[in-house]
Structure 1
Amino acid sequence: MAHSSLSRSLVLHMIIILYTVTSSSLSDSEILVQFKDSLVKADALSDWSPSTSPCNGDKENWKGVLCDNGKVWGLKLENMGLKGVIDVETLKELSTLRTISFMKNNFDGSLPNLKKLGALKSIYLSDNNFSGEIPGNAFDGMVSLKKLHLERNRFTGQIPESLGMLPKLTELMLEDNEFRGEIPEFRQDRLKMVNMSNNDLEGPILGSLSKLNVSSFSGNKDLCGHPLESCAASRKLSVGTILVVVVVVVVALAAIVAVFIILRRQGQRPQPEETSLPSQAHKKAASADLDKMEQGGLPDGKRSEQGGKLSFLRDERDKFELADLLRASAEILGSGVFGSTYKAAVMMGSVMVVKRHRKMNNVGKEEFQEHMRRLGRLSHPNLLPLVAYYYRKEEKLLVSDYVDNVTVAVHLHGNHSSGQPSLDWPTRLKIIKGVARGLSYLYNELPSLIVPHGHLKASNVLLDESFNPILTDYGLIPVVNHEHAQDLMIAYKSPEYKQHGRITKKTDVWSLGILILEILTGKFPSNYFRPAGKGDDTDLGSWVISIFQGETTSEVFDKEMGGVKNSEGEMVKLLKIGLSCCESEMEKRLDIKEAVERIEEVRDRDGDEEFYSSYTSEGDMRSSRGLSDDFSLSMNG
């Protein structure tokens, strides 16, 4: 009897082993064809055939497949009209799968059981018809997940609390769904891009999410806490709504009576220069006015030290009043380290950018005005000219022209569903040369400043319609409160400040070097987020050196940088210039003059007919930014 039981046990184990071997022996092509069978209306995948291999080295043979060393590491099945079931049971057999994008299809029903694909780094399921509640533990164990896009579906219920436990999460896009209830606590310090707008969320914003800007939470009327209004203020308003309405009506009627009496006595209407700044109520009443300015609006209530007038720095410019700016149709462009930035359409069709600064309140009026006049005298094709400013002790406004494109940072690292084109090698070289010229001009025109720019980074380099770079946020160190400058400005992230607590004439050159490496590699410089004077020596320059030892290698360059054929020597030359600019030892670092001269010598082609023919095809293959930069990062290590 024991012998019979033992025999049955051995047979059972043999069956299990045989099943496991058989299952694991499926090829990538067989797995993908099986996955295709779970889809409806998969005509776009007609070239998926078991008779061919999906990958040939790093080149894909099948549409929508991304390959690495002959294995499938990504699926990019976007805007194909696909329906049916996303068969995660089959996909989990692809041991090398790291990223999926099924954006802009017709998938519906509940969210697939994604935690069975525990090795994924990026998931893009936006713009489908998924619905229903997501279990709280839906993302348990997905410790590699960096980017999750579920926006523009019909998900309901609470945001899964397991998302707050993912250690590597950097992007979380949940906007335009029907999530409700309170937001779970997120403790990650890596979160950089989060959007929960246009849901039905309520309660306080907790943890690291409180550091985000207002636009991340707009359209949730019952949310409170920083960066929105305080929860205490919110509760007070809800209790006293009727009282507030009564008070507002009474005050409004009293104001109308007062104005009527004044006009009767004076026999004339008040002139514009006699009018004080618009009240907060006035700004909120004008649709899409500059009332979007972070719950506080522009300065209001009191008459400012300048009587509510903008100070213009350029005689050739058409003048407008601060009141015109406040009444202008406006939209928020973003919130940076200094404050919020707004696009405002003022009179005569002029479109301006207004930056609201709250980190300059220790600067005296005369000192501030003199420095603004100095910046107003600057004129260079690669600098965004400062047009006007407004001074108030508590905050300052800087007004510039609007540039109808986006920043270098958006093109390199932005939301890949935004349609921004990839930057090819000639364009990147053009951008770097323009940045170097603008920086050189600042050094020549502002010799008294230790660091003429002080805040040079990809998000402070605008691109016009011809992709010419335009520097912004320059020359502000003298008027920014020192304690804020240390925490916020790039100059204070430099090796010399970390090691010696000081910045020098070569600090901007270090920033230029990091920017060059960022543009060439497509990688984000993590040292931008390191607190002043803290952190280890790991930065973008160290990463480049670790894989680039003076020999030709494609792994260091951004995979989306197409058009690099015949450019190997010049790319490597510029890479070495970038490394020389961001040397941690200042004595070894190039000075600005030498750096600019060497950059100007770089050409967009070097005549080599053979190099990078395969690399070019890879770059072209990934030129569509439908997926995350994780695709290039996973290729780069």
Structure 2
Amino acid sequence: MKLPAVVSTVLFLFFAFPISPLLAADLNSDREALLEFISSVPHARKLNWNSSSPICSSWVGVTCDVSSNRVISVRLPGVGLYGPIPENTFGKLDGLRVLSLRSNYLNGTLPSDVPSIPSLRYLFLQHNNFSGTVPTSFSPQLKVLDISSNSFTGGIPDLELPSLKLLNVSHNNFTGSIPSSLRKFPDSSFLGNSLLCGEPLKECSNESQQQPVTVPHSETVRPKKKIQAGTIIALSIAGSVVIVLLGLVICICCIKKKDGKSVILKSKATNGGNVTSKDFGSGVQEPEKNKLFFFDGCSYNFDLEDLLRASAE
């Protein structure tokens, strides 16, 4: 049985009119959330975000879905955003699928309501200065997560995300072991975290995790002290004086030695009048020859024959 045309029209108007204000209210809530964000975060480029302009056609970096009349994408790479992300801003965008805030100057901790947006699929936060730990709750629809080149610390949460196809957490300050659910990704996803271990990186060891790396005491490099110019001059003068004194002592010793030898020679000459072979010989004594003695006061006269006979005997 077909309903009358009037009844069909009434039913259509009954269900249609309440839905339109609801869709408008959702888009207005997205507008208010984005305005709250941009009013709290300084930025270098003009984004033309204001309440008087249409959000889906004139706002820079904002994309809407016509069917759902919701904001589904916010792309603001390299626009000079500076400071932390306020809570309850992006987290209110229930229909958001893509959020790209890469290559800015955002800092502080990452609000937990950002990665946990139910419809979020792509999250790009690389090349900022985020710090602190990473939230543990992420959208189950997430396909790409890039938080590289930041200052995140602590351990990497064990993300049970079956739809995740690309992960990059490199060049942060993560520590500890890589969760088993993320070990399927290549080592390039984790590089630049010196205290991170486990597959696909190096194996973890309790000793290396507990004890910090220390430099041995014997290998510590001590700064060299510079010797002043005055000290160098004083040392040079002292060395010269010592050398001169040593030279004088040696000269005096040589002079005294020569004087001693000359005194000995003079004493020998005065004592004997003649220098015998014992004084200058090689030590071999000559045999003592027969000598002829003459006695004073003897009246005996010797002639040549007596002398020759005495020498023969």
Structure 2-normalised TM-score? 0.51
CA deviation profile, 1:144-187 (whole Å, cap 9, x unmatched):
111111111111111122x2x11111111111111111111116
Q: What does residue range 382-401 of structure 1 map to in structure 2 within 5 Å?
A: none
Q: Which of the residues 143, 146, 171 maps onto 1:146?
A: 143
Q: 1:196 aligns with which of 187, 190, 193?
A: 190
1:173 to 158, 168, 182: 168
Aligned amino acid, residue 104 of structure 2: N
Q: How does 1:506-545 map to 2 (within 5 A)?
A: none
What residue is the counterpart of 1:94 in the other structure?
A: 93
**Matched letter for residue 171 of structure 2:** D
Tell me the residue number matched to 1:75.
74
After TM superposition, what 4+ stretches of structure 1 lie above 4 angstroms from structure 2? 20-25, 191-194
Deviation string 1:455-509 (CA, Å, 9 cap, x unpaired) is xxxxxxxxxxxxxxxxxxxxxxxxxxxxxxxxxxxxxxxxxxxxxxxxxxxxxxx
Distance 1:91 1:132, change over 3 A: closer
CA contact (8 A) 1:88 1:117 kept: no
Query: Could you tell me how far apart the structure 2 residues matched to 1:203 and 1:196 are?
Result: 9
- Once the two structures are superposed, what CA deviation does each residue of 1:237-293 show, in whole Å capped at 9, x if it has no partner? xxxxxxxxxxxxxxxxxxxxxxxxxxxxxxxxxxxxxxxxxxxxxxxxxxxxxxxxx
Map 1:183-332 → 2, pairs under 5 A: 183-186=178-181, 195-205=189-199, 210=200, 217=201, 223-224=202-203
Classify 1:141/1:120 alpha carbon distance in 2 versus 1 (closer, same or farther; 3 Å).
same
Q: Give per-residue Cα distances to partners, 1:531-556, cap 9 Å, x unaligned.
A: xxxxxxxxxxxxxxxxxxxxxxxxxx
Rounded Cα–Cα distance in structure 2 between residues aligned with 1:193 and 1:76: 28
2:25 is the counterpart of 1:30: no
Matches of 1:112 and 1:66 in 2, distance apart?
Answer: 22
Q: Is the 8 A contact 1:173 1:196 kept in 2?
A: yes
Is residue 2:57 matched to residue 1:63? no
Counterpart Cα distance in 1 of 2:44 and 2:152: 28
CA contact (8 A) 1:78 1:104 kept: yes
Rounded to whole Å, the distance in 2 between the matches of 1:196 and 1:203 is: 9
By how many angstroms is 1:202 displaced? 4.4
**Counterparts in 2 of 1:492-511, with a 5 A limit?**
none
Flag the 1:97–1:51 CA change in 2: closer, same or farther, 3 A: same
Task: Give the whole-Å Cα distance in 1 for the aligned partners of 2:108 and 2:166.
Answer: 24
For the 8 Å contact 1:84–1:107, the answer to whether it is kept is yes
Question: Distance between the aligned counterparts of 1:188 and 1:204, measured in 2?
Answer: 8
Counterpart in the other structure of 1:50: 51
Distance 2:25 2:40 in 1: 18
Q: Deviations over 1:343-367 (max 9, x none)?
A: xxxxxxxxxxxxxxxxxxxxxxxxx
SS state of the match for residue 67, structure 1?
Answer: strand
Hey, what's the Cα distance between the residues in 1 that align with 2:40 and 2:74? 15
Q: CA RMSD in A?
A: 3.1
Measure the CA separation in 1 of the matches of 2:62 and 2:24.
24
Q: Of the two, which has the highest radius of gyration? A: 2
Tell me if the contact between 1:65 and 1:76 (Cα under 8 Å) persists in the aligned partners: yes
CA contact (8 A) 2:94 2:117 kept: no
Q: Which runs of 5+ in 2 are unaligned?
A: 1-21, 209-313
Q: Identity of paired residues, percent?
A: 32
3-state secondary structure, aligned to 2:63: strand
Partner of 1:128 in structure 2?
A: 128
Q: Offset of 1:140 from its aligned partner?
A: 2.5
1:224-623 matches, within 5 Å, as: 224=203
The count of residues paired between Structure 1 and Structure 2 equals 182
CA shift for structure 1 position 119: 2.1
- Given the two structures, how large is their TM-score scaled by the length of structure 1? 0.26
SS in structure 1 opposite 2:71? strand
**What is the CA–CA distance in structure 2 between the aligned matches of 1:119 and 1:83, rounded to whole Å?**
26
Shift of 1:66: 2.4
Distance 2:44 2:196 in 1: 43
Q: Look up the match of 2:270.
A: none
Q: After TM superposition, give the deviation of residue 102 of structure 1 in Å.
A: 0.6
Structure 2 Cα separation of the partners of residues 23 and 85 of structure 1: 27
Distance 1:166 1:21, change over 3 A: same
Paired position in structure 2 for 1:586: none
Report the 3-state secondary structure (helix = DSSP H, G, I; strand = E; otherwise coil) of the residue aligned with 1:28.
helix
Instruction: Name the CA distance, whole Å, in 1 between partners of 2:26 and 2:153.
Output: 37
Contact 1:169 1:188 in 2 (8 A): no
